[in-house]
Amino acid sequence: MSGAPGQAVELVWRGDERFDAVTPTGIEVAIDGTKETGISPVEALAVALAACMGADVVDILKKGREDLTGCRIRVDGDRRETPPRRYTALRLAIELTGWSLSRAKAERAVQLSRDTYCSVWSSMAPDIDLSVELELHEPLLAEGEAG
């Protein structure tokens, strides 16, 4: 294998369609094609995309001095009916929470992630339709807290 140092992930077969993926730092993730004991490989791909774009967006907004207090991402997609049952479309709903967040900065962060920084998205088939819905919210004040 070649590539950047420290990027190798090892998978150990645990029977049936189950594997334990072990990262270079020793973190284990259960992968299960039957979805009984872990996340499926296709779900893992969707999670990887959402996490990659989410990390980019959060990092870009924080560097832009946005007062971000939360980020929640929902991802779903459409797959082919016949093998290979790959994604044909993916939809991300990114919900950002913070004080006076700039919609323009948030939209720019999403675009930068998609076009420049997200290595997961850049590694996927170029004909996949990716749509991103962006919601911005103010944090909820705790009871008795002045606003």
What's residue 7's pLDDT?
Answer: 77
Instruction: Specify the pTM.
Output: 0.88
Q: Mean pLDDT, the chain, as a whole number?
A: 93
What's residue 91's pLDDT?
Answer: 98
* Beta carbons within 8 Å of 113's beta carbon, 6+ residues apart: 52, 53, 56, 57, 60, 121
Q: Report the pLDDT averaged over residues 30-44.
A: 95
Q: 79 near 125, Cβ under 8 Å? A: no
Neighbouring C-beta atoms of residue 29, cutoff 10 Å? 15
Q: Report the pLDDT averaged over residues 62-84.
A: 97
Phi, psi angle pair for 59, to nearest 5°: -60, -45
pLDDT over 90 at 140, yes or no:
no
Count of residues in the chain = 147
pLDDT band (50, 70, 90) for residue 16? very high
Structure-token pair, residue 143: 């009871």
pLDDT over 50 at 1, yes or no:
no
pLDDT in tens, 75-104: 999 999 999 999 999 999 999 999 999 999
pLDDT in tens, 120-133: 999 999 999 999 99
